[in-house]
Amino acid sequence: MERDVAPHTQTSELRYELERHDIGYSGRIPYTFTNRLSGPVIFHNCEGDVRPLLQVRRQGRWVDAWRPLMRACASSPLEIPPEGARTDTLVLVGAPPGSNVSPNFVFEDLEGVYRLYWFQAETLKPVGPPDDAWRVSNPFVLTLR
């Protein structure tokens, strides 16, 4: 897989391994979000918890595959100014689908091509089509260890 440099979020690698545990899977995905828009990007959060969800490529479409379990509070938004950046690591922990443990993955078959998606972010002014282009990361592969 070649790196797609267009997305505003770039992962440190193009392949990550998930480790199997008794109640699910875990892994770490370092990334950097760089705001290349003309206005600020606002990340809504709860006490600084700003984590993207995972989407997987299935039958030619991107579909939600895992969403972080987040507390339901409203803290001051995190604002990334134009040309500003935020580097962090998604600590990914998830149970198999149908488990009584949250968060869980949507699909049994976890291996595939994924991307990060900023579901809790917004811009203060229109960015033009396609509106979601700034919300996603480069594609990367998840495999099981």
Cis amide bond preceding 68, omega within 30:
no
Angle in degrees, CA 6, 8, 9, rounded to 5: 110
**Among 85, 81, 49, which Cα is nearest to 67's?**
49
- Please provide the distance, in angstroms rounded to a whole number, between the alpha carbons at the two ends of the chain: 19
Q: How far is CA 130 from CA 76, 123, 127, 136, in A?
A: 27, 13, 8, 11
CA distance 57 to 88: 23
pLDDT digits (tens, 9 = 90+) for 53-70: 999 999 999 999 999 988
Residue 126 CA neighbour count, 13 Å, CB half:
3
Residue 126 has pLDDT above 70, yes or no: no
CA distance 113 to 87: 22
**Among 130, 112, 120, which Cα is nearest to 33's?**
120
pTM tops 0.85, yes or no: yes
pLDDT digits (tens, 9 = 90+) for 1-13: 899 999 999 999 9
Residue 130 has pLDDT above 70, yes or no: no
